[in-house]
Amino acid sequence: MMDRRLEGKVAIITGAGAGIGEAIAHKFAKEGASVVVNGLADDPIEDVAQKIKHYGGKAIAYAGDVSQEFHAQNCVQTAINAYGKLDILINNAGVFLATAETQDYPVEVFDETIRMNLRSAFLMTKYALPHLQKTRGNIVSAGSEAGFNGLAYNTPYGGTKGWMHSFMKGVAVEQAKHGVRANCVCPGAIDTAWTHKEEGPMNTEMEKTLIQATPMGRRGTPEEMANVYAFIASDEASYVTGALWLADGGVTVAKGAVGKETPFWLRSEPKGELRLDHSREGLENKETQSRM
Ligand SMILES: NC(=O)c1ccc[n+]([C@@H]2O[C@H](COP(=O)([O-])OP(=O)(O)OC[C@H]3O[C@@H](n4cnc5c(N)ncnc54)[C@H](O)[C@@H]3O)[C@@H](O)[C@H]2O)c1
């Protein structure tokens, strides 16, 4: 049998009831990690944890909004109580709640986006670091191509990802002396609720454009992202810190509607191995709005 890359490690994955986080939880468990599956109270985190246990993985669910200090502290403490240590923090939780031109973007959605995307990552990092310093662990946070390029029609969201990139770079420099690494995975359009007009606030035009702007002419899958997270979080990436690791199908380096040139037979998503039942449920329990 091949060595498992995260054997013996303990990992917290925030926002792991749906989408990319669900895939990271499964992938990490399959690579030998004991995982804390965090999500909001009505996210299917118990189901994800149960499925992991079903095939012999180690998982525990922690329900709570980690943008609240109490829950961030408790989430970290849950890992320590259950497994005795913490090696990996995955700051994956985030929201994509509205599409509108900036002059029409609701102020309360801006505030909520900042809270859910930034405050959660800051608090989790703050409370995880003392434990990560003991294990010489690492943090991988959800950046985005939108953090490099900005995002028209959800400009505050793109800004939160630019913040995440800088936050992780600062943490990487500051924490190297403790043996702690910090990085971002920066996805392009991924096949979750966010990039489907039926499940989120994107309209037909936005959905079409984001795929045409991607040279690979398709969305990435949650599992393809989980594979990148697994590598960066593993000891194989021991010299990788302060990195913004693009996994975006080429969208950042593209100009124009290049995806249209890619033949359909090259556009099909890989089937993958993980059984993901919640990949497009991330927005089910949230109020979203389109003002376009
Ligand atoms: N989907 C994409 O195209 C894409 C692209 C680039 C980056 N990302 C990033 O990847 C991450 C996951 O995106 P996704 O598409 O899988 O989203 P998703 O909505 O499918 O899953 C995110 C999960 O996090 C949970 N969550 C949100 N805020 C939380 C909080 N404060 N505490 C606990 N749980 C919380 C949500 O309820 C949801 O279940 C996000 O940070 C996002 O910015 C996604």
Task: Convert the pLDDT of each residue in 230-245 to its tens digit.
Answer: 999 999 999 999 999 9
Please state, in angstroms and rounded to a whole number, the distance separating the CA atoms of residues 148 and 165: 9
Active site residue 229: no
Instruction: State which of 123-127, 259-263, 264-268 shows the largest mean pLDDT.
Output: 123-127
Output the CA torsion 92→95→100→105 (10° steps).
Answer: -110
Position in ligand 1 atom list of the atom nearest CA 285:
37
Q: How far is the CA of 19 from the centre of ligand 1 (A)?
A: 7
Nearest residue (CA) to ligand 1, atom 7: 144
CB 229 within 8 A of CB 140: yes
Domains annotated on the chain, with CATH: 10-190+220-254 (3.40.50.720)
Average of pLDDT values for 91-95?
98
Which pLDDT belongs to residue 44? 98
Q: Taking CB atoms and a 6 Å cutoff, what residues make up the pocket around ligand 1?
A: 14-15, 17-21, 38-40, 43, 65-67, 92-95, 116, 120, 142, 144, 187, 189-190, 192-195, 282-283
DSSP 241: -
Q: Which residues 6+ apart lie within 8 Å of 263 measured at CB?
A: none
The SS3 call for residue 36 is strand
Per-residue pLDDT tens over the stretch 15-59: 999 999 999 999 999 999 999 999 999 999 999 999 999 999 999
For the beta sheet containing 138-142, the strands, ordered from the edge strand earlier in sequence to the opposite edge, are 58-63, 34-39, 10-13, 88-91, 138-142, 181-187, 244-247
Helix, strand, coil % over all residues of the chain, rounded to 5: 45, 15, 40
Q: How far is the CA of 15 from the centre of ligand 1 (A)?
A: 6
pTM beyond cutoff 0.95 = yes
Which pLDDT belongs to residue 142? 99
